[in-house]
A = this chain, B = another copy of it.
Amino acid sequence: MRQIFDAELKQVGDDLAEMSRLVEQAIVKAGTALLTADIELAQQVVAQDQAIDELERDLDERCVLLLAQQQPVATDLRIVVSALRISSSLERMGDLARHIAQVARGRYPRHAVTGDLQATFAQMNDAAVRVARRVTTLLTTRDLTVAHNIERDDDLLDTLHQDTFAALLGTGWTGTPQETVDVTLLGRYYERFGDHGESVARRMLYLVTGAFEEARP
């Protein structure tokens, strides 16, 4: 019984890592699509989001079956419940990468972001990619120092998000309403991407240390 459970639990961990790798690819491609107006890449992100959604459904079913058939307690139970929540965050991160790609696709052949804001979004995308990579590392190694680096990049994303508002609301802004809308939504997508990454980090901290850190203000 224990062997079956361990094998099932390993599969859950492998599925989460696989979801996270797909999210990583999605955000890398979405950012490149956005910053270089590459419609081909944008399409790929949109198409590949389905695979993430399907993995989430499989993983959730697997977790519910595990709860029903193996009746885990203590740490095992904590792992299964955390997996349910982490898969939900990863699914949302995939959606957000897709939303970014959809903005890039909608503006093609123009760039959705122009001028000084390109540098800001390049930084946001770098931070988001680091978050995604570290989430994969965290899920595969459980190295908690990585969790703290994720929090730092989430903070950076919040700061850069504020920078986008400062640009939009400053006297120098001459963008069209479409550009204002796009920058507003893109900023929000990246900020939420960071939030979900940070949420995975907190769940993993809880899982490994048993102490659930309160959501930071």
Contact = CB atoms under 8 A, between A and B. Distances in A.
Contacts of A64: 77-78, 81
A68 B76 CA distance: 10
Contact of A168 (B77, B81, B177, B215): B177
Nearest to A189: B188
Contacts of A180: 177, 180-181, 184
A118 B32 CA distance: 37
Contacts of A168: 177, 181
16 contacts: A64-B78, A64-B81, A67-B81, A68-B74, A71-B71, A81-B84, A85-B88, A88-B88, A165-B181, A168-B177, A168-B181, A169-B177, A177-B180, A180-B181, A181-B184, A184-B185
